[in-house]
Structure 1
Amino acid sequence: MKIALISGTSGMVGMQLLHQLLSNYDYVISVGRRKLAIKHQNLVQLEGDLAKINTWDWEHLIGADSLGGEFNALKESILEKNAEMHAFSSLGTTIKQAGSKERFFQIDHDLVIEFAKWAKALGASRFLYVSSSGADANSSIFYSQTKGKTENDLKDLGFEYLGLFRPFLLLGNRSEFRLGEQIATIVMKPLVWLKLFKNIRPIYDYQVAKGMVKTALASKNESVEIISSGQLQDLSK
């Protein structure tokens, strides 16, 4: 049995990821503050405070989502540790949305790490994380610094495989308006049409999602891998 865990499902990449995961895994467990208005026979949605995810009674929550017992096989597989389990995180926000640097760090770092710890304890062998093209723990830019610190702390958790995906400017349907990104998209979108400078041209959300799932399902020798925006575009072909 192949099981996928995902956080950040409601985001731009997260929604595309969910679509890809439902096509490639036997079950998908999505975690978040609230359930999405999506129904699928192989989708389990767990809701709660992500900061306290490691105290969740996941067995009860899965049971509550399957009153007819349709997810009993899923629970047994997790408990018996006989499933192939991969975790995906596209959780993230902006400082403007978060309201402060402190809150931004809590979301983009702390919640990602808590989810990763929970996923590993549940039995996930692979963790795939949507980072940023400028991720660097020593960066003077707080956003890039946070992404870099998150990457470093994920490395310390000891997954059999850790994929750090660093897309450049994302294209897709966002739920909120970001002026800076809109301007950058208009200026740089010709690079997409002309297929120039793969690592510094915009990339579509579905390309990121497809590349992540393809990577998760492939045989891997390395324990930690950084996947650039250009590599993601190649993977999504």
Structure 2
Amino acid sequence: MSQIAFVSGASGLIGVQLLHQLFKNEAIDWVVSFGRRDLAFKHQKLVQVKVDFEQLEKLNLEDEIRKQNMGGDKQPLLKALNEASTSIIAFCALGTTIKKAGSKENFHRIDHDYVLNFARMTIRLGAKRFLYVSAIGADAQSSIQYNSVKGKVEDGLKRMDFDYVGLFQPSILLGERNESRPGEEIGKVVMKFVTFFGLFSKYKPIYDHQVAKAMVQKALNFKMTGNETISSSEMHKMTK
């Protein structure tokens, strides 16, 4: 049985680490990345598909792959996409900040609409398992927009027809970002100090590769079904 991973948000902090985890896992045969821009690296498992997240319902994945199949190396993937025994697992690490998005409206479009659009597309293409990078404090009723949007996405995913939905709620993320976030850097220092003394342990900062590793572990545990929320503390325990 072939196993294919669909990934969105692959250029981000967790997304990059997620690709590395999928590349080295022998259970995954192909990794299809969906993004607005090409990634800066290549791998024999990786197929990149450029998309408009506002029009994913129009995407013909097989046509896009055929355009890259000039040498015939993508033929096994095309065959696998049409086999009933193939397992497709979707991973979503899409996300931004209000500052980077430029407005609350743009932030909502990217962190909410694009995520749910991607989820609907993966169902149409045969995905049965969906794993999403949410955030600690996600709550649809929160007065904080960031937490509210994440919570609304979680609620939307729970209502979709997946066999399994994994909602990962990391605390402050550690890792090498492309852009500087001064407020987050201060938060990292403060929370490292506080958690050192055993206070607020659930807010202990977590590395990007730990989140990615936990996501792949859960994705390949086919005994797990239904909706599951994975806390930052649990991810720490899973990746010791």
- Normalised TM-score (structure 1): 0.96
Q: 1:86 aligns with which of 69, 89, 96?
A: 89
Gap runs ≥5 in structure 2: none
Tell me how far 1:11 sits from its aligned partner. Answer: 0.2
Tell me how far 1:158 sits from its aligned partner. Answer: 1.7
What CA deviation, in whole Å up to 9, does each residue of 1:104-146 have, x standing for no partner? 0100010000110111111111000000101000000000000
Structure 2 contact 131–168 (Cα < 8 Å) conserved: yes
Q: 2:218 aligns with which of 196, 215, 219?
A: 215
Structure-2 residue corresponding to 1:157:
160
Residue 28, structure 1, aligned to residue 31, structure 2: yes
Tell me how far 1:195 sits from its aligned partner. Answer: 7.2
Provide the secondary structure at the position in 2 that maps to 1:162. strand
Tell me how far 1:30 sits from its aligned partner. Answer: 0.2
Write the letter of the residue equivalent to 1:91.
Answer: L
Provide the secondary structure at the position in 2 that maps to 1:51. coil
When structure 1 is superposed on structure 2, of 78-87 and 118-127 the one drifting more is 78-87
Structure 2 contact 173–205 (Cα < 8 Å) conserved: yes
Provide the secondary structure at the position in 2 that maps to 1:118. helix
Gap runs ≥5 in structure 1: none
For 2:87 and 2:196, the matched residues in 1 are separated by: 38
Aligned length: 237
For 2:31 and 2:187, the matched residues in 1 are separated by: 34
> What pairs with 1:41-60 in structure 2 (closer than 5 Å)?
41-60=44-63
Q: 1:189 to 1:66 in 2, by over 3 A?
A: farther
Structure-2 residue corresponding to 1:13:
14
For 2:84 and 2:193, the matched residues in 1 are separated by: 48
Tell me how far 1:209 sits from its aligned partner. Answer: 0.3
Root mean square deviation of aligned Cα: 1.4
For 1:199 and 1:67, the matched residues in 2 are separated by: 50
Residue 147, structure 1, aligned to residue 161, structure 2: no
Tell me how far 1:82 sits from its aligned partner. Answer: 2.3
When structure 1 is superposed on structure 2, of 2-11 and 43-52 the one drifting more is 43-52
Tell me how far 1:192 sits from its aligned partner. Answer: 6.3
Structure 2 contact 35–51 (Cα < 8 Å) conserved: yes
Tell me how far 1:222 sits from its aligned partner. Answer: 3.6
Provide the secondary structure at the position in 1 that maps to 2:54. helix
Structure-2 residue corresponding to 1:124:
127
Tell me how far 1:78 sits from its aligned partner. Answer: 1.0
Q: 1:65 aligns with which of 54, 63, 68?
A: 68
Structure 2 contact 195–203 (Cα < 8 Å) conserved: no
Residue 136, structure 1, aligned to residue 165, structure 2: no
For 1:221 and 1:77, the matched residues in 2 are separated by: 24
Percent identity, aligned pairs only, is 49
For 2:207 and 2:199, the matched residues in 1 are separated by: 15
For 1:172 and 1:221, the matched residues in 2 are separated by: 29
Write the letter of the residue equivalent to 2:135.
Answer: S
Write the letter of the residue equivalent to 1:78.
Answer: L
